[in-house]
Amino acid sequence: MAAPAVAPPTARPAVGAHRRRRSLGGDRRRAAYLMLAPAVLHLAWWIGIPTVATFVLAFTRYDILAGTMSWAGLDNFVAIFRDPLWWKAIGNTVVYTFFTVPVAMAVAVVIAVLLNTKLRARAWYRTAVFMPHITATVAIALVWMWMFEPNIGLFNWVLSLFGVRGPAWTSDPAWAMTSVILMSVWKGIGLKMVIYLAALQGIPSDLYEAAEIDGAGPVRRFFAITLPLLGPATFFVLVISLIDSFQVFEQFYVLTPEGGPANATTVMTYEIYKSAFQRFDMSTASAQSMVLFAFLLVLTIVGRRFTGRDDVA
Amino acid sequence: MSLESAVVQPAPASGASGPGRVGGAPRPGRIVLHAVLILLSLLMVAPFVWMVLTSLKSHAEVMSYPPTILPSVWQWVNYPDALAFAPFGTYFRNSLVIAVSHTVINVVLAAMAGYALARLPFRGRSVLLMLVLATMMIPTFTKIVPQYLLAKTMPLFGGNDFLGRGGSGWLDSWWGLIVPGAVTPLAIFLFRQFYLSLPRELEEAGRLDGLGEFGIFARVMTPLMKPAIATVALITFENSWNNFVWPLIVTRSVDLRVIQVGLAAFQQTDATLWEYMMAGTVLATVPMIVLFLFTQRYFVQGFATAGIK
């Protein structure tokens, strides 16, 4: 674009020697906008708009085939809360969380404390514990499915060595949830352990030395020093674990397809998936998503209050 | 380059190398400790070992009871056979293409955005940062329905008119697989944190040398960020490679399946061919494990910096 001869009114008089300084702020601002534009537009389009849209869709009747939309008010919410299966899904999600999160946390903190001593090969132990975290949930769930196989699988064979007749695991309504919980505990320990390990590095060793001089044994030291000082880390681990747990999907999808035997393992995410992508009822799915979102929001806020820190710091 | 060196943060103030029993426990305690840790490690690794062993047994041996631990004959031929039986090779390639695309796009775009948020002054910077952090906390299932609708109604793609009606848009296409998840707020945030740590003098030296803002970003600051780039690249690659829900809902055709979706589909149709399925899971997990074993430090750095995944 050819510049007009008239200087823009905001331009300062000095050219030449002062040019660099004059334009510095503007250059940097322009550079900032250019550098931000692709990423910010992407996030706005693929996360910003969808988040708002879910909220809107939840209050409408949207027909994906006809492309029509009408206001529904609270109808979708009334409908899902009249649906016993949705209550079952909420219940199953809570049960799953209640048994997975504390167990994995307890195991993780014990391993972290054991690994925080100076040991030969401790890098190997840490790697072994962390490995499940970085591998794909779907692939790993298939391996567990194979271990859970009732007739020729590893678990029931090992149990038979002790004279125990193992259950049908994933296909038995009484055991399906337990099966998924077992796998999830195994998979979830690694990340929690790494966060605990990082927190343990911050506990000053003179506390332990003093306690040792006072004659406190390892168990006493753990409960009197380690556990209290791990308080903030524990809350942090708890919050991220709860949030992850409410969003769990893959292991349920693979280990117990179709929501499990007698809906024993239908969780909230699975119901959302079914509403949206099997029945193509986007409005119901959005209302269900909003309920899940509300749970997560409350957990996040409560967690932040207790941990006194930002989730992402 | 071990997990150890990454978790041990810059030497603690007390100066001791670890707050545990610094002097070392008495011998018997040590042996018990090792025994417990070895047992735990074995429990963690056992499923991986069982996966590999199963993938190398004959079908008859897999189906026999009681199970054998080691294959009586090592059936390496299971791998080519599995690839011939189900298109695991195609799935693998698709996953690789998508994970590499995501990694490249995310590193480039998120580095620029993170740099601007960390080092360039502009109006609304703190508001924008808060917004990026907020998008990080939006759960997958809160946005997935409209994301799907956005992909489906992408104008002028997949037979859609210019209003996005009539066709399938980006569904069942490379566009739909790659573009929506290409930029992650986590990567922007990580880059911002890393760029914040660089000294201001460098930036000013670049400016004195007459470099523009892009020059300073690309030629002065970013070359110092190799560990940060490695961290973001690995986390992006891992998340992309392991992603399941999005590829599951946007693709229909077998040619576009990623390996995780392909495995789940294989399970639903051929659930008794465990040796092939385990060969497939080896293909799906081993690349990540190998990558992880060589680059643990960067993975852990990423988790420690971000706190959350």
* Burial of B84 per CB tally in 10 Å (0-12, 13-18, 19+): exposed
% of chain B at pLDDT higher than 70: 89
pLDDT band at A72 (very low <50, low <70, confident <90, very high): confident
Q: Are residues B208 and B98 in the same domain?
A: yes
Q: Which of A163-172, A226-235, B44-53, B276-285 has the lowest mean pLDDT?
A: A226-235
The CB-based long-range contact list for A28-31 (8 Å cut-off, 24+ gap) reads A28/B120, A28/B121, A28/B122, A28/B213, A29/B120, A29/B121, A29/B122, A29/B123, A30/B213, A31/B116, A31/B120, A31/B212, A31/B213, A31/B214, A31/B217
CA distance B226 to chain A (A): 19
Angle between helices A84-115 and B27-55 (to 10 degrees): 130
Residue A129: predicted pLDDT: 92
Q: Are residues B250 and B129 in the same domain?
A: yes
pLDDT band at A49 (very low <50, low <70, confident <90, very high): very high
Give the integer Cα–Cα distance in Å for A246 and B128. 28
Q: Which residues have a Cβ under 8 Å from the Cβ of A71 and sit 6 or more positions away?
A: A59, A60, A61
Q: Are residues B45 and B115 in the same domain?
A: no
Q: Are residues B100 and B201 in the same domain?
A: yes
Asked if residue B9 is part of any domain, the answer here is no
The parent domain of residue B287 ranges over: 88-307
Q: Are residues B93 and B146 in the same domain?
A: yes
Smallest CA–CA distance from B274 into chain A, residue: A146
Smallest CA–CA distance from B167 into chain A, residue: A65
B288 contacts A134 by C-beta, under 8 angstroms: yes
Question: pLDDT tens digits, residue range A252-287?
Answer: 999 998 888 989 999 999 999 999 999 999 999 999
Q: Which of A1-10, B59-68, B262-271 has the lowest mean pLDDT?
A: A1-10
Residue A214: predicted pLDDT: 84
Q: Which H or E run contains A194?
A: helix A176-200
Structure letter (DSSP) for residue A8: P
Is the backbone peptide bond immediately before B66 cis, with ω within 30 degrees of 0? yes
Top pLDDT among A184 and A68 is at A184
Asked if residue B83 is part of any domain, the answer here is no
Question: pLDDT tens digits, residue range A193-229?
Answer: 988 988 888 888 888 888 888 888 888 888 888 888 8
pLDDT band at A66 (very low <50, low <70, confident <90, very high): confident
Asked if residue B10 is part of any domain, the answer here is no
Q: Are residues B170 and B285 in the same domain?
A: yes
Question: pLDDT tens digits, residue range B271-304?
Answer: 789 999 999 999 999 999 999 888 887 877 766 6
Top pLDDT among B3 and A168 is at A168
A306-310, B244-248, B295-299: which has the highest mean pLDDT?
Answer: B244-248
Question: pLDDT tens digits, residue range B111-123?
Answer: 999 999 998 888 8
Residue B22 has pLDDT above 60, yes or no: no
Task: Kindly report the number of other CB atoms within 10 A of residue A34's CB atom.
Answer: 13
Angle between helices A137-148 and B274-306 (to 10 degrees): 130
Residue B300: predicted pLDDT: 73
CA distance A262 to chain B (A): 18
- In this structure, chain B runs to a length of 309
| Tokens at A226, concatenated | 């380690």
Q: Are residues B41 and B115 in the same domain?
A: no
Domain boundary among B15, B40, B75: B75
Q: Are residues B205 and B301 in the same domain?
A: yes
Which residues in chain A are closer than 8 Å to B128, comparing Cβ atoms? 36, 40
Half-sphere exposure (Cβ direction) of A158: Cα atoms closer than 13 Å: 8
Residue B306: predicted pLDDT: 57
CATH label of the domain that carries residue B148: 1.10.3720.10
| Tokens at A37, concatenated | 């534009």
Chain A, residues 185-224, CB within 8 A of chain B, namely: 186, 189-191, 194-195, 197-198, 200-209, 212, 218
**Helices and strands, counts by H and E, chain A:** 15, 2
Question: pLDDT tens digits, residue range A92-106?
Answer: 999 999 999 999 999
Asked if residue B3 is part of any domain, the answer here is no
Q: Please indicate whether, in this complex, the C-beta atoms of A253 and B285 are within 8 angstroms of each other.
A: no
To the nearest 5 percent, what fractions of chain B are helix, strand and coil? Answer: 70, 0, 30
Q: Please indicate whether, in this complex, the C-beta atoms of B277 and A204 are within 8 angstroms of each other.
A: no
> Of B183, B112, B130, which Cα lies nearest the Cα of A31?
B112
Q: What is the mean pLDDT of residues B49-66?
A: 92
Give the integer Cα–Cα distance in Å for A17 and A135. 59
| Tokens at A157, concatenated | 């064979």
Q: Which residues have a Cβ under 8 Å from the Cβ of B19 and sit 6 or more positions away?
A: A116, A200, A201, A203, A204, A205, A207, A208, B12
Domain boundary among B21, B43, B75: B75
Q: Are residues B155 and B298 in the same domain?
A: yes
Chain A, residues 49-78, CB within 8 A of chain B, namely: 49-51, 53-54, 57, 64, 67
Q: Which residues have a Cβ under 8 Å from the Cβ of B252 and sit 6 or more positions away?
A: B171, B172
Q: What is the mean pLDDT of residues A41-63?
A: 94
Residue A24: predicted pLDDT: 64
Q: Please indicate whether, in this complex, the C-beta atoms of A136 and B138 are within 8 angstroms of each other.
A: no
Residue A7: predicted pLDDT: 43
Longest dimension (CA), chain A: 96
Which residues in chain A are closer than 8 Å to B33, comparing Cβ atoms? 114, 117, 119
A305 contacts A95 by C-beta, under 8 angstroms: no
Residue A11 has pLDDT above 70, yes or no: no
pLDDT band at B163 (very low <50, low <70, confident <90, very high): confident
* Burial of A309 per CB tally in 10 Å (0-12, 13-18, 19+): middle
Domain boundary among B75, B108, B136: B75
Give the integer Cα–Cα distance in Å for A270 and A75. 21
| Tokens at B25, concatenated | 């426990």
Give the integer Cα–Cα distance in Å for B128 and B192. 12
Q: How many domains does chain B divide into?
A: 2
% of chain B at pLDDT higher than 90: 50
Among the partner-chain residues A194, A243, A289, the one whose CB lies closest to the CB of B145 is A289
| Tokens at B133, concatenated | 């952090």
Among the partner-chain residues A54, A114, A205, the one whose CB lies closest to the CB of B37 is A114
pLDDT band at B161 (very low <50, low <70, confident <90, very high): confident
* CA A17 to chain CA mean position, Å: 55
- Parallel/antiparallel/unpaired status of strands A68-71 and A60-63: antiparallel
Give the three-class secondary structure for B12: coil
DSSP string, B124-173: THHHHHHHHHHHHTS-HHHHHHHHHHHHHT-TTSTT--TTS-SS-TTTTS
**The pTM is what?**
0.86
A-B C-beta contacts closer than 8 Å: 349
Give the three-class secondary structure for B16: coil
Asked if residue B26 is part of any domain, the answer here is no
* Residue B150 CA: distances (Å) to CA of B122, B164, B250, B251: 31, 9, 11, 15
Which residues in chain B are closer than 8 Å to A272, comparing Cβ atoms? 141, 144-145
Q: What is the mean pLDDT of residues B206-227?
A: 86
| Tokens at B301, concatenated | 């750095």
Q: What is the mean pLDDT of residues A107-123?
A: 87
Domains of chain A, each with CATH number or no CATH: 27-74 (no CATH), 77-308 (1.10.3720.10)
Asked if residue B8 is part of any domain, the answer here is no
Asked if residue B273 is part of any domain, the answer here is yes
- The complex's ipTM works out to 0.86
Q: Are residues B137 and B249 in the same domain?
A: yes
Asked if residue B94 is part of any domain, the answer here is yes
Smallest CA–CA distance from A64 into chain B, residue: B149
Q: Are residues B42 and B177 in the same domain?
A: no
Q: What is the mean pLDDT of residues B252-262?
A: 93
Q: Are residues B155 and B49 in the same domain?
A: no
